[in-house]
Copies of this chain bind each other. A is one copy, B any other.
Amino acid sequence: MKSLVKEPVARIVAGKPICLQDTHVNDSFWLPRILVNRTRTLVIEFELLEKTGRLTAFNLNGKTHQFWDSDVAKWMEATAYSLAQYPDPALEQKLDQTIGRMSNAQTEDGYLNSFYQTRTLLKRWSNLRDMHELYCAGHLIEAAVAYYEQCGKRAFLDVMCRYTDMICATFGHADGQRRGVPGHPEIELALVRLYRATGEQRYLALAQYFINDRGVEPNIFVDEAVAREEANAAAFDLSNIQAHIPLKEQSEAVGHSVRACYLYTGMAGVAVETHDESLWAVCKRIWENLTRKRMYITGGIGSTQHKEQFTIDYDLPNENAYAETCAAISLVFFARQMLLIELNREYADIMERALYNGVLSGVSLDGEKFFYANRLAVYPALIASKTNGDRFAAFRQEWFDCACCPPNIARLLADIGEYVASISDDIIALHLYIAGSYDAVTCGHAVSLQIETDYPWDETVLVRVSSGTTTEFTLALRLPGWCRSPRIKVNGVDTDLSAITSSGYAYLRQQWADGDVIAMTLPMPVEQMEAHPSVRDDAGRIALQRGPLVYCLEECDNGADLSDVTISRSAPLCIERTDLLGGIVAITGTAFRRDLTHWSDMLYRPVRDTVVRKQFSFTAVPYCLWNNREEGEMRVWLQRE
């Protein structure tokens, strides 16, 4: 047997994700979604961007809105990822045309924002709190970096570097600069990406400035509101935009959840790139608060529609869950950045939880409809009786007035291959088990890893090594936190995982040769999950989970009144491979509900000693796939006997 040396984990190691061009996903779970994303989602989103005026806004003579540039930018970024793997001249032409529009619109001094350029440039930078200029710039920067890195085309990168240089010149503490940080964070993480893509220190310095000046007194947001003569300038709740106190003094995930995780991602990026230990400590303590006290089991975050924000520890209502799709996506970004800094499965587990549940629920199987809010229990008749707007609808919608989520999920799906693996020094780490081939260079040698698996439906993952030469490096395999008894064989020989596992990764170090095979077994029995006793809405309830997937009951399989469904503790829970929903593993078993026929028009009655219950066979399906059939009730947390 080859030597398997335990690898110590460095606390801060900046890993790099594998390059998207070096990934070739052929996974039965993800590939259909990637293809639908390319052939349907990106196509209809472009049509909608056009139809709603978001593209012609760059003509600077018509309708416009302070968010719109970001919607276009996210579609551009998604398209860049898609083109990197799936050349498509028609799509590429649309992207280049869009870049042309923007290039034409850019001012002499580099500024690029359809809203202020259509209205008046005199007011630019006058309301950083509400008007999303820096947010839109951030998304445009991300799109430019993606197109440059993935497809090698740098025209748009040049446009955005000019704009960013103008922003660099504008904001800061130096002479001729003014203080200012974004009301909607996003540009921080984009600047870190731009720095990584270009190597230009000034972009990192600007990100660092935006992080460090946030919430510092005198508060820029208060000052600018006073300057605008805003009524009650001091009354604005700055915690909603994470600017109530300096970031380094913060320790809880607060405020608008999407802003929060974009900010935290940027903060973690700045921490690692500037070797700022104290900033890293802030990331860690906010991460802990967020994931241990303020996150749904689906990875959804931001539990209230009210200002789209976090509330308080353990407040995770199911029917009224907001859990915006963008928020789960932003948590994926935060988790991934943390993981690239510290190889710890805690980050990868959360990244996987969000991806396979609260993110993927955001888009329909056909790629044409989207959730903004991702509730964990839906009672359509109640929602129909209220008027909370399209963001909080019972079922997926084709579009939203505030259209942040649809292009956001498109860019993540188009880029999913990059989340599978990362490379750091002589370690190749696998975080997600998505079938495909992943090419990397480690220790100067090209290595290709083939992942063969039917994950998340099946417990077996094969990793085949292809390499022209024998190379010594460490293959770090994530042992998912949900798995109680993982096993790994290398070329048919069992490994002693306890000896080589650190922070949830198995470190396999050896001379790897062409044809080596690692066989992982990740037993995935159905688990009944319970929530912390302080989560009021989940008391007495369990959620069914198998592997990374959280399951739910839908009315079309199980009838209505799902809140009364009780799973008995001892009843066997079976799994069943079915053609439902494009082919899934369903969970089946026996459940009970009270018999309505014994309730003849009573609303309350004394409990009877012999409860009359009806037994029935239930079918649970993955939460991320609900609402792809008949519309009806849905529920994740079930009563447990």
Residues of A within 8 A of B (CB): 288, 291-293, 295, 297, 304, 306, 311-312, 315, 317, 319-320, 377, 379, 381-382, 385-386, 484, 527-537, 539-543, 561, 563-564, 566, 569, 593-594, 596, 599, 601-607, 639-640
Contact = CB atoms under 8 A, between A and B. Distances in A.
A89 to B, nearest CB: 47
B386 A297 contact: no
A69 to B, nearest CB: 31
B529 A291 contact: no
14 contacts: A291-B603, A295-B603, A311-B385, A315-B385, A320-B320, A527-B606, A527-B607, A528-B606, A530-B604, A536-B561, A537-B563, A539-B563, A540-B540, A540-B566
A530 B319 contact: no
Contacts of A381: 312
A537 to B, nearest CB: 8
Contact of A593 (B312, B533, B602): B533
Given A306-B386, A539-B563, A539-B639, A292 B602 contact: yes
A569 B529 CA distance: 24
A306 B541 CA distance: 28
A194 B317 CA distance: 48
A532 B603 contact: yes
A614 to B, nearest CB: 10
8 residue pairs, one from A and one from B, having the closest CB atoms: A536-B563, A533-B594, A533-B564, A528-B607, A527-B606, A540-B639, A539-B563, A539-B564
Contact of A599 (B315, B382, B533, B542): B533
A498 to B, nearest CB: 21
B603 A315 contact: no
Contact of A530 (B306, B605, B639): B605
Contacts of A534: 561, 564, 596
A604 B639 contact: no
Contact of A292 (B379, B533, B601, B640): B601
Given A533-B561, A533-B593, A536-B564, 6 more contacts: A292-B601, A312-B385, A377-B536, A379-B536, A543-B604, A569-B607
Of A381, A385, A529, which is in contact with the most chain B CB atoms at under 10 Å from its CB?
A: A385
A485 to B, nearest CB: 13
Of A566, A593, A594, A607, which is in contact with the most chain B CB atoms at under 10 Å from its CB?
A: A607
A311 B380 CA distance: 12
A121 B537 CA distance: 53
A385 B237 CA distance: 11
Contacts of A377: 536
Nearest to A318: B536
A115 to B, nearest CB: 26
**Interface residues of A: mostly helix, strand, loop or mixed?**
mixed
Contacts of A541: 540
A536 B378 CA distance: 11
A607 B297 CA distance: 14
Contacts of A288: 601
Contacts of A528: 606-607
A352 to B, nearest CB: 14
Contacts of A593: 533
A319 B529 CA distance: 24
Contacts of A542: 607
Nearest to A613: B533
A541 B533 CA distance: 16
Contact of A536 (B319, B539, B543, B605): B319
Contact of A382 (B315, B596, B607): B315
Contacts of A564: 533-534, 536, 539-540
A292 B607 contact: no
A529 B297 contact: no
A365 B306 CA distance: 34
A259 B239 CA distance: 38
Nearest to A317: B319
Given A540-B540, A639-B539, A603 B312 contact: no
Contact of A607 (B312, B604, B640): B640
A639 B539 CA distance: 8
Contacts of A319: 317, 536
A603 B563 contact: no
Contacts of A639: 539-540
Contacts of A315: 379, 382, 385
A557 to B, nearest CB: 18
Contact of A603 (B292, B317, B604): B292
A620 to B, nearest CB: 16
Contacts of A594: 533
A369 to B, nearest CB: 25
Nearest to A319: B536
A57 to B, nearest CB: 27
B606 A312 contact: no
Contacts of A601: 288, 292
